[in-house]
Structure 1
Amino acid sequence: MVDGSRRKVLGTMGGVAAASLLPAPWVHAAQTFKIGYVAPATGPLSVFAEPDPFTLEAMKKLVGSGLTVDGKQYGVEVIYKDSQSSAARAAEVTNELILKNKVDMVISGCTPETTNPVADQCELNGMPCVTNDTPWQPHFFGRGGDPKKGFEWTNHFFWGLEDVMGVFGSIWTLLPTNRVVGALLPNDPDGNAWGDPKMGLPLMCKEKGLKLVDPGRYQSPNDNFTNYITEFKKAGVEIVGGVLPPPDFGNFWAQCAQQGFKPKIVSAAKATEFPAAIAAFGPRSEGLTVEVWWSPHHPFKSSLTGQSSADLAAAYTKATGKPWTMPVGFKHSLFEVAFAALKKAGGKGPKALRDALRATDLDTIVGHVNFTKGPVPSVSKTPLVGGQWQKQGNGFELLIVENSQASMIPVGAKLLPIPA
């Protein structure tokens, strides 16, 4: 649960510096597997990387004695690089990992600004790579992927635009409104994909009989949304939907209050997924809706530890004192896939590791991962549901209110309108 009285400044990982996440080999052996890990430890996307210290410590304990492959012991070293929430920096540190640190594989997550440049550098340099936490279309097509071929060295697992459009479209029809939707989209890979007429909000709204009001893309970061709010009010918008960084949404939502704009439903992907962001919004968190890619309610277990989703969420809270957050499961799952491929390939070199990754067929804490079944080569989809921040005691809790795209994940609450 998120305490509504808490306030947290977004933009850093607290006192955790990137340098402190660069451990020496966890076990010394004749041969060591070196994994490069790129994430936005600082900057506006740092909320996605909040679980990294917890995950790295858990993995260190898990493989502290090394990985045993065909009776041979291999050391494990994870080299962590901060992308600083910059695509250019993500590419730069990935090159360092490949050319300077001589890693065996690279893993990454945290939106297209991170995964796309990381994967591009790995593909260019023949480096085995696995990523998640970016909708598959912005990741795949945003990198110029060919659906007939896929990529040779890079693999990705997450949900797609068709899933989040299904979730949001369902949420927006669960309550009585005038069915007028305002789009809030930045000029970035996510925002441009969501605005795409063939696969984004325009298509979904047309299919659902919703009227879309789209003022166009804004440049992020943005501290003034007056033009958007004015246009939404003029058009009678009662539903706001989009995908944007938490600081941008914080500015938008505060200005809505200041300017008397009171929509009935607000679904802000990326921005309202995290307890830290919700705590910063205070009482105005109540009723916000968002897609949910992982939660304690997901009926999946870790292939590494046997923990259930509920177990992992509880372990995170116990270790950090913080509420569970969606990236916890996906950070864990990166290592599930990475370790499974390393065990399968052994020490036989990059091509063997590439082939092992491409052949992944694994039940993980976030669902089944199989890169051979599509929707396009080298991509695997994970399930998605819809959630709402509802008042529970002195704070807010993210409860599952919609499961049209993933019926195996149970609904736990009824959708409520945002308090007037």
Structure 2
Amino acid sequence: MSINRRHFVQATAAGAAAISWPVLAQSRSIKLGFVSPQTGPLAPFGEADRWVIAGITEAFKGGLDVGSGRRLNVQVVVKDSQSNPNRAGEVANDLILKDRVDLMLVSSTPETTNPVSDACELNEVPCISTVAPWQPWFFGRKGDPAKGFNWTYHFFWGLEDVIAVFTNLWNSVPTNKKVGGLFPNDGDGNAWGDPKLGFPPVLSKMGYTLTDPGRYQNLTQTFASHIAAFKRDNTEIITGVVIPPDMKTFLTQARQQALRPKVISVGKALLFPGAVEALGELGDGLSTEVWWTPSHPYKSSINGLSARQVADRYEADTKKQWTQPIGFSHALFEVAVDVLKRTQDPSKRESLRAALAATNVNTLVGPVKFGGQGPFKNVSKTPLVGGQWVKGRSTPYELVVVNNETAKDIPVGGQLKLMS
């Protein structure tokens, strides 16, 4: 990991020392497996992972005191899903069967979280996942609301939250309430466009008319049929859940074919500064859901750093603009550390699972509590607000929170403006 870790490591190590208990006998090592998309079309989700893990690994150098009265050596074994669900399942099995990890961490989209979680459920390995709406994570894995899962736990927001955020954005500006849907044929797209659980029934109840031309394949070369349908129905709002390459293809072709929506609120593709910057002038005014920013009023349970301090250190170390997954990648390890500190016997997976199920910890992304802060015992929901990309002063674009009706403790920095 050729990363400048000085600022983050110093703060993390100091925080880790501050929360340690009295040092007892050094015990066996415990292994954490970590899977995320670090290459491929979903790579922007994993862009900050190596930086976060570098700091966490440094903090673990002296070991971690756990509830059993022992100090554990902690190793983090990192695997790249390569943005491929089959690959995600393969590396999860490698981590379980070859590396023999004690606790699995996984992040970023159902294509990553679901196959890894399934492997853990099958092999009875405790697993913490994030950065995928809870519906495709739970129902996409055929979860039974009456039973839940035994070994896999998830924290993030749900479709009901992103629908609320997007409609709050749209209600704040004048439109004809006609919406065009961009829903790919993947875990997220099928969940967002689901006629019973996704956007369609809720938008209908709220007086919006949705045009859904059907599913398309990721990395498609043309959106001609979608654009034609949106123009035919005079849609003034475009929404969906799109990977970054497809967002650029759609926006370019929409411009060429004279589709001029007033609002474009899209998940996934518009989360990252690099992806929006790559759009050039097409990126100005695009809106998206916001899970984490430097202005979020939360602190790390590991080192006490605020969201602003973590973002500043990331930018100082990497010379890159902060990105939303930083907060959740860090929070994954916060939950893991909290679980380990409360586990009575880390050598037993059942003991780790019991501690995981009882999690109630305040993290960099807000509170995470299983069995009381979500629709099911395995799910804890985190706050979500709405943001818009505007021309930046020190960077090409800045993500500004423009609507916080769903989470009033997160400050706004402006109001939604119509696309120029």
Q: TM-score, normalised by structure 2?
A: 0.92
Looking at structure 2, the residues matched to 282 and 202 of structure 1 have their Cα atoms a distance apart, in angstroms, of 31
Q: CA deviation at 1:72?
A: 2.5
Q: Which amino acid aligns with 1:353?
A: L
1:34 is paired with a residue of what secondary structure? strand
Counterpart Cα distance in 2 of 1:73 and 1:109: 27
What SS is found at the alignment partner of 2:280?
helix
In structure 1, the partner of 2:15 is none
Q: What one-letter code is carried by the residue in structure 1 that aligns with 2:405?
A: S
Equivalent residue for 1:215, pick from 209, 213, 216 = 213
CA distance in 2, matches of 1:294, 1:357: 23
> Which segment drifts farther, 204-213 or 383-392?
204-213
Distance 1:191 1:71 in 2: 46
**1:40 aligned partner, one-letter code:** P
- Letter matched to residue 294 of structure 1: W
Letter of the 2:376 counterpart: V
Deviation by residue 1:222-266 (Cα, 9 ceiling, x = unmatched):
121111111111111110000011111111111111211111100
Q: CA deviation at 1:271?
A: 0.5
Do the aligned partners of 2:297 and 2:306 also contact (CA within 8 Å) in 1? yes
CA distance in 1, matches of 2:81, 2:171: 39
CA distance in 1, matches of 2:305, 2:55: 12
| Aligned match of 2:45 | 48
User: Who is 1:402 aligned against?
Assistant: 403
Matched to 2:391, the amino acid is K
Distance 1:198 1:370 in 2: 27
Secondary structure, aligned partner of 1:215: coil
Structure 2 residue aligned with 1:389: 389
How well do the aligned residues superpose, as a CA RMSD in angstroms?
1.5
- 2:380 aligns with 380
SS in 2 for 1:117: helix
Could you say what secondary structure the match of 2:329 adopts? helix
CA distance in 2, matches of 1:246, 1:154: 29
Q: 2:48 & 2:277 partners in 1: Cα distance?
A: 17
Partner amino acid for 1:330?
Answer: F
Q: Distance in 1 between matches of 2:258 and 2:92?
A: 45
- Give the AA of the match of 1:183: G
After superposition, what is the alpha-carbon deviation per residue over 1:138-188, rounded to whole angstroms, capped at 9, x for unaligned?
Answer: 100110111111111000000000000000111112111111100011011
User: Of 178, 181, 184, which residue of structure 2 is paired with 1:180?
Assistant: 178
Q: Which amino acid aligns with 2:51?
A: F
C-alpha displacement of 1:207: 2.2
Question: Are the aligned partners of 1:116 and 1:139 in contact in 2 as well (CA < 8 Å)?
Answer: yes
Can you give the 5+ residue segments of structure 2 that lack an aligned partner in the other structure?
A: 4-24
In structure 1, the residue corresponding to 2:270 is in which secondary structure? coil
1:277 corresponds to which residue? 275
Map Cα deviations across residues 106-137 of structure 1 (whole Å, 9 max, x no partner): 10011000000000000000001000000001
Give 1:71 deviation, angstroms: 4.5
| Equivalences for residues 5-24 of structure 1 within 5 A | none
Matched with 2:361 is: 362
Aligned residues: 395
Shift of 1:298: 0.9
Question: 2:7 is matched with which residue?
Answer: none
In the alignment, which of 109, 112, 118 is matched to residue 111 of structure 1? 109
1:20 maps to what in 2? none
Identity within the alignment, %: 50
One of 207, 210, 226 as aligned partner of 2:224? 226
**Stretches of 4+ moved more than 4 A in 1?**
none
**Candidates 189, 192, 203, aligned match of 1:191:** 189
**Partner residue of 1:78?**
76
Partners of 1:169 and 1:204 within 8 A in 2: no
Structure 2 CA distance for aligned equivalents of residues 348 and 214 of structure 1: 50
Separation in structure 2 between the aligned mates of residue 301 and residue 72 of structure 1, nearest angstrom: 27
Partner residue of 1:23?
none
Alignment of 1:24-43 (within 5 A): 30-43=27-40
Correspondence for 1:131? 129
Of 286, 301, 311, 2:284 maps to: 286
User: 2:34 is aligned with what amino acid?
Assistant: Y
Deviation for aligned residue 1:204: 2.2
Distance 1:172 1:207 in 2: 15
Distance across 1 between alignment mates of 2:89 and 2:58: 29
